[in-house]
Chain A
Amino acid sequence: MKLTRRQSILGAMGTATALSQPSRLMAQSGQLLHASWGGGVGDTWTEAFAKPYAEETGTAVRIVEVPNPEAQFRAQAGNPQYHTGIGTFVQGVNMMRDDMLETFSIDELPAMKEIDEKYWLKTKDGRLAGITPYFAYYGIAVNTNEASVGEFKSWKNLADEKWAGRLGMTRPIYLSTYDLTILSKAAGGDEFNTEGGLDLLEGMARNVLNVSNSLAQQNTMLERGEVAAMPFYSVRVWSLNEAGVDYVRIVIPEEGALLLPYVVVAPKGVADREMVANWLNYIAGAAPQERGMAISGYIPANSKAEATDEITAKLGMSYSDLRAKLYQPDWGHIAEHQKDTVATIDQMLANL
């Protein structure tokens, strides 16, 4: 068979069109697409949330691992390819402020009534812009081969000169939201008054060996003892401990640790809205959150979730005792000022 030039061009155009469609077709084929960070987070979502949900409801949820779900939502604004995605609370606030999120009434997500309202991501008119499946906390991770847990009783210890070259630190983007907030609290201020926190942050920065750029790098530095300690996520230490690295411990200093809620959001104009609401309501429930805790140490946000004896032993306390030690700042204020705070920290680091 001999193809004419026109047939060849039409064939090529057809092929190109077909190749550009799969993601769109997948988003419309009856299964839900959920954007998640990779590694342990994606696995947790598959095992604790997606698989049981499919078994209970018959609706398949595909967990798609991406480096940054927020970036996907922003790139696809107006033409969403994902039904839902996870983000930090600050990312949720930023997307909500930019009117990028689908909102729901409490009647559509009744399971949210079991979650303390201080963890809700809601619009000014009281609609829910996302649900909070769980939280982690930000404490001080210590390699006990290099330092003792007792040497980090306070966040202020991180600024002690004796740790010169022995600490790790994250990048300004996270320093601005996490480290500065809890250091400000430790210095007697809070997210509205960060002057003392900046001084402590500067002191800590002087002791830092390097600024790490990924969780994997931070994990490795702690595990290898390249740094003795660093502000770090409870869930990462949990994973290290579960992997047999029992000499890395997470410390909650006397001033408390920073509570880090996560949010699951749906992009504005999401397809299959009713299915999405059902999925979100399921995520807000106690049972999947308890499974998530068992797999990766994320603390359930649902107040009816219960810890097994084994989990209580691993945490060293009950959920309620733990929650009492955590500081929940005004994330809306932090998100609103984040760019300016990063600029301030960038300039502070440049002048060290």
Chain B
Amino acid sequence: MPKFSRSVLLLAPSALLMGVFLIGLIGLITSSLSIDGQLDLGHYTAILNRPDYVEMLGRTLRIAALTTFFSVLLGFPTAYYVARYRGNRNFLLLLIIFPWLVSIVVRSYGWVVILGPRGLINGFASWVGLADRPMKLMYNDFGVILGLVHVLLPFMIIAILSVMLQIPRSMEEASMSLGGRPAHSFRTVVLPLALPGILTGITLVYLMATGAIVTPLLLGGLGDTMLGTEIFQEVMHFFDYPKAAALATVLLITALGVVLPIQIFERWLVRRLSDGAGQ
């Protein structure tokens, strides 16, 4: 088979996927701009004129950002440990992806059993006399962020780990043999080389957190609605697809506002690291 044909065949699945994705995206945006078959920005003005929607958008972005931050904070050390582990690394990987075998509903609901008013923590606090009334550990932003970090952390770990495994241990050893202390070697060698993985993890987790539905529904409190849950309501209960499309487009644009600069920075960084390696 000629090389050109082989390339076309190999590209066909991704081209098909991209094609379907683009058609869906165009359909989404077109639907959001249409009222009774006419081009109209009515759905967008209606959304932006409702203070609760604007607040909901802000809350969605804030919760996504905090979820991403804590995922990096927990994910990076975990990925580093797994990458440097000398024993059965596959076993650790299995442990990391093990939660994926359980439904997201069950995983989120597990937190109710732990943090709920009659949960383990409140039960213990009451038993030892620390609190006479249950502490509100969930049904608020804290509960949602905790649940989202729990659900999305494996994505962060795997994204970072995929890069970490490419960093030879000899690089750190070379740094230390030249007098660098462990912390210094870590900061100047490991961290910059792992940054592309961290940025990929940030992108993945941030995007998934902005569109989260189940976890905010189960662990969020009164008035803690996120945009994903609102879109879910418009589709599943009101069957108002144009409004849902407008909300989804708003979410997409705001998410791109964060993700695109990250992607540009990542490309610049990878190019810089490649140049450095070349020299």
Which residues in A have some Cβ–Cβ distance to B below 8 Å?
A: 67-68, 70-71, 74, 165, 169, 171, 173, 205, 208-211, 213, 217, 220, 224-226, 339, 342-343, 346-347, 349-352
Q: Which residue of B lies closest to A211 (CB)?
A: B222
Q: Which residue of A lies closest to B56 (CB)?
A: A350
Residue from B118, B217, B237, B238 within 8 A of A226 (CB atoms): B118
Chain B residues within 8 Å of A346, by CB: 52, 225
Give the complex CA separation of A149 and B178 in angstroms. Answer: 77
Chain B residues within 8 Å of A165, by CB: 117, 133-134, 136
Q: Is the CB of A347 within 8 A of B136?
A: no
Q: Is the CB of A205 within 8 A of B237?
A: no
Q: Is the CB of A350 within 8 A of B139?
A: no
Chain B residues within 8 Å of A352, by CB: 222-223
Give the complex CA separation of A209 and B218 in angstroms. Answer: 12
Chain A residues within 8 Å of B240, by CB: 339
Q: Is B188 an interface residue (CB 8 A)?
A: no
Q: Which residue of A lies closest to B109 (CB)?
A: A217
Instruction: Enumerate B232-278 residues with CB–CB distance to A below 8 Å.
Output: 233, 236-240
Taking A208-B222, A226-B118 as known contacts, 15 extra A-B pairs with beta carbons closer than 8 A to each other, sorted by chain A number, are A68-B236, A70-B239, A173-B233, A210-B220, A210-B221, A211-B220, A211-B222, A224-B116, A224-B118, A226-B116, A342-B238, A346-B52, A349-B223, A350-B52, A352-B223
- Chain B proximity of A93: nearest CB distance (Å): 14
Which residues in B have some Cβ–Cβ distance to A below 8 Å?
A: 50-52, 55-56, 109, 112, 116-118, 133-134, 136, 138-139, 217-218, 220-223, 225, 233, 236-240
- Chain A proximity of B219: nearest CB distance (Å): 9
- Chain B proximity of A158: nearest CB distance (Å): 14
A-B residue pairs in contact (CB < 8 Å), sample of 27: A67-B236, A71-B239, A74-B239, A165-B117, A171-B233, A173-B233, A173-B237, A173-B238, A209-B117, A209-B136, A210-B139, A210-B220, A210-B221, A210-B222, A217-B218, A224-B118, A226-B112, A226-B118, A339-B238, A339-B240, A342-B238, A347-B52, A349-B222, A350-B51, A350-B52, A350-B55, A352-B223
- Chain B proximity of A224: nearest CB distance (Å): 5
Give the complex CA separation of A169 and B237 in angstroms. Answer: 18
Q: Is the CB of B51 within 8 A of A211?
A: no
